Amino acid sequence: MKKYPHPIIAREGWPFIALALAVAAGLHAYAGFGPAAFPWLIVLFMVQFFRDPQRTIPEDPRAVISPADGRIVSVERVRDPYLERDALKISVFMNVFNAHSNRIPVDGTVTKTLYFPGKFVNAELSKASTDNERAVTCLRTADGHDVTCVQVAGLIARRILCYAKEGQMFARGDRFGFIRFGSRVDVYLPLTAAPRVSVGDKVYATETVIAALP
């Protein structure tokens, strides 16, 4: 697929930053810096939240890369409810200070996409995987491994953006979505995959290897 151009600030954030900038600049011009101090802080927050840094992709073809920046909150054997199989689930929790651009974890073709409306409980909790609003992207690698990537809304997240389409081919590190504002991403892997992270580890989208396929 066509590579996202990485303009430093994610395109999803341009309207929010423009609005915050207009409010801060207008208030500053009308009333001075004091009353505009908080709006300027909002501008800085928006810029850091919507940053979209370029990343280096690991060379190992078996590597499963992190789909998001954040912290590992789950590494466990579970049932993948989307492909009806036992699987290794690795979950990444993103707080509002992490970059929220989501990246594809493996080279593969999209076999299925699903969307589920739901609640907005704290995405750090395990029940968020099944109770919250979520978008599902199922991938199949050239070696026949199935990988399920689930974007999960969080406590204050109100919009999941997923650009993946059935039949679309992706390379590891390709940008496929964005979540506003705070959330998690669950990755379901074959049981034969070997985890490379533990609960509590800090990870970075594209650069951190979270598991290795056989």
Distance of alpha carbon 75 from alpha carbon 132, whole angstroms? 19
Per the rule left: phi > 0, alpha: psi between -120 and 50, beta: everything else, 173 is left
Distance of alpha carbon 35 from alpha carbon 115, whole angstroms? 42
Indicate the residue type of 8: I
Q: What angle do CA 197, 160, 9 make, to 5 degrees?
A: 80
Distance of alpha carbon 120 from alpha carbon 205, whole angstroms? 23
Point out the catalytic residue in the list 74, 91, 183, 198.
183
- Can 129 be counted among the known catalytic residues? no
Instruction: Please give the radius of gyration of the chain, using alpha carbons only, rounded to the nearest integer.
Output: 18
Which positions are catalytic?
A: 183
